[in-house]
Each structure stands twice: as structure tokens, then as C-alpha cells.
Amino acid sequence: MRARRALLYMPGDDEHKIHKATTLEVDCICMDLEDGVAQNRKAEARKTIQEALKSINFGGSERLVRLNPVSSRFIDEDLENIITSKPDGIVLPKVKNADQISWVDRKISAIESKSGWMPGSIIILAIIESALGIVNLKEIASSSSRLRGLIFGAEDLAADVGATRTEPGWEVLYSRSAVVTFAAAYGLQAIDLVNTDFLNLEKLRAESLQGVQMGFSGKQIIHPNQVKVVQESFTPTDDQVKNAQEVVAEYLSYQEKGRGAFVSDGKMIDAPIVKSALALLERAKAAGKITIVPKIDYLKLGEGL
């Protein structure tokens, strides 16, 4: 699975900002048709994004487009104009149930078939930002083979449940945790909330590292200043990679000797520790720090016991 450490939103009607984004070496550039574009600029934004997808070299950045919600009057024109320009994927906001994902999936499939493209070539990332979306996470997470990740929208979620947003974020912690939990259960990436204070980079770093600790694979961002801090935060350090590799190597060695749990540097190493090490190595591989992650039968790590 590709790295999505930072997902940078850029207004879809601003060609200059889209060009700027391509110089930042950010994992994902998401050209926005929703909140970042005024209602009377939607058509202009579609044209700008179409041209960008055809003419701009995005380098190694994933080319994403955030459409308007399925419930909006703009969605049909969004799909007709954007999917035919073949982005790498779409970000679907305000997802409340699995039917919305399935409906968009069918629309994309029809265009892929008509265009002679490989089925499933355009992926979907779903933003969960309502109480109903949280309640329906199980069905949403298993709704489509195109679905690659769940994105947590804290601001809309808080407004939907009537919560007051605070800096510690306790009011959205349950929903934030639910998104990362269901993403892990269904083999999806989880992309964390936006920090709107793009000048306070220390606060951003702390929040990013908290997201890493919670199990998120990346974070939404809204400003070029945030790219480096976020991508560094979601990239394992050299020491972390080295330690994880040593844990896995020791585990394999002890397995050959017929032993399960073992002690290393005064710490008990068992199945959950090995799984965490493997997960970290997968993140390191996605970020390009390593090329190989050992293959281990998870049944031997206690899966399903």
C-alpha cells in the first residue's frame, strides 16, 4: 500500500496553488471541489482540475480530487467531469452509509468500462465526519474493493453531535478512535484530522505523533508549511526501524528453536510486540526507508486464538 503520510488539500479553482503543491514532494495532493471552493466557482474548479490532471506533472504525489457529497446537487457533474480525466483516486466527503460508496463505485466502474481502463484503477478514500458515519463504520469499511482508507473529519463531526471543539480534543476522541479501529479491522489506511493552525508547527508535530501512537497512517493538511512536519512524524526513525528489524529477526530465530515468547534487553517479546514491529516496518517500507518486510504467518502470532 502506498504512503499517505500527508494529504494536502488545494483549492480546485486555483491553478497556481496546484502547481505549488507539486513542488512539495507531498505524498498526496487533493484538489478540492467541496469546502475549498465557493458554490459559484464549482464549474471553474472542475475545468481547472481537469486541465491539471491532463497537463501537470505531479511527480511522485498521488493525484486525488475531493468531490462534493453524494447528497449534493453537484455530485453528478463532479463524477462526469473528474472521473473521465482519470485521477488516481477520489476523496468522498460526508460519507454516512455504505450505499453512498457503492453508488459512487458503480458510477466509476461504468466510466472505466466505457474508457477501456483497468477495473478498479481509481481508488476511493472516504471521509467520516458525522454521527451516522461513525455508527455505520462497519458497513462503510467493507463497502467496496476500491476503498483504500478512512479519513476522520473532526470539525464536521463535532458540529454534527453538538460538541465544542477544544485543543485536547476529548470531545472527538471516541470517533477518532473508532475510525482508526475500523480501518485496521478491514485492512484500510486511517488518515487523521486537520490542524487548522498552520503556523504552530510544534503543536502540529505533537498532534501528528499522537496520531501515529493511535495507529493512523497519515494526516490531512491544508498548508505547505505542514508537509515536512507531518511526513517526518509519520515516518519511522532509523532507530525505530533498526529496533523493529531486530525484534522480528529474534522472533524468527526463536521460532526455529521452537520457542514463542522470549526476553530481549530485559523486556518480554510476544505476539503483540512482533505485530507492532511488523506494522512499523510496513510504514517504513511505504515511506521508502526499507524495501523488504519479512513475511510472517499471523496464525503463528496468535491470530484467532
Nearest one of 102, 160, 159, 107 to 126, comparing CA atoms: 102
DSSP conformation letters of 160-222: HHTPPP-SS-GGGHHHHHHHHHHHHHTT-EEEE-----TT-HHHHHHHHHHHHHHT-SEEEE-
Residue 36, amino acid: G
How far, in Å, are 25, 102, 110, 219 from residue 192 at the CA level? 19, 23, 31, 4
**270 among known catalytic residues:** yes
Nearest one of 239, 290, 250 to 273, comparing CA atoms: 250
Cell of 62: 498521488
φ, ψ of residue 54 in degrees (nearest 5): -85, -35
Question: How far does CA 284 lie from the centroid of its chain?
Answer: 16
Question: How far does CA 181 lie from the centroid of its chain?
Answer: 13
Q: Which of 88, 239, 270, 297 is catalytic?
A: 270
**26, 52 in Cβ contact below 8 A?**
no
In the numeric block, the cell 500527508 is attached to 6
Which residues are tagged catalytic?
270
